[in-house]
Amino acid sequence: MNDASARETSLLSRERFDRMIGSASVATFIEPAKALLLAFEQTDNYDGIHFKWFQSRYDRFLYVDRVVVSEEHRSHGYGRMLYADLFTRAEKLGHNCIVCEVNMQPSNPGSDRFHSAQGFREVGRATIDSGAKAVRYLLWHR
């Protein structure tokens, strides 16, 4: 499911994906293979470049590395369900700041609309991979 959405997220080897799941403070799945969400606290053992961007700017946060809804299950509310669960978990973990990034290049207008509707706002931008990818950094604050 992750690799089918690699344009929006990134390709991962099975080993890397398993390590990410093991390190994530929040790893939520809607079975069978409908949707997933992985999020990391600022102190989790994770080396993602976008995660590190937030680490250098915020003391405490929950970083959404990826939220993926399989193509055949989109527009059924699974993303909203995952985020509702994430907001509840964030509160239990003592977080009032949730962060993520959304692609500008290649564009991801569905994710832009979704995160805007959830109350996220832009706090920065970055270009990576020699200009092949550009992202907007987003913040949700309770």
What is the pLDDT of the chain when averaged over all its residues?
89
pLDDT for 53-102, tens place per residue? 999 999 999 999 988 888 888 889 999 999 999 999 999 999 999 999 99
Reported pTM: 0.88
Contacts of 130 (CB under 8 A, 6+ apart): none
Cα→Cα distances 134→14, 30, 68, 130, Å = 25, 29, 19, 10
Residue for token pair 């093991």: 22
Higher pLDDT, 85 or 2: 85
pLDDT over 90 at 2, yes or no: no
Residue 12's SS3 state is coil
pLDDT for 6-55, tens place per residue? 455 555 677 887 898 999 999 999 998 899 999 999 999 999 999 999 99
Q: Rounded to whole angstroms, how far apart are CA atoms 109 and 114? A: 8
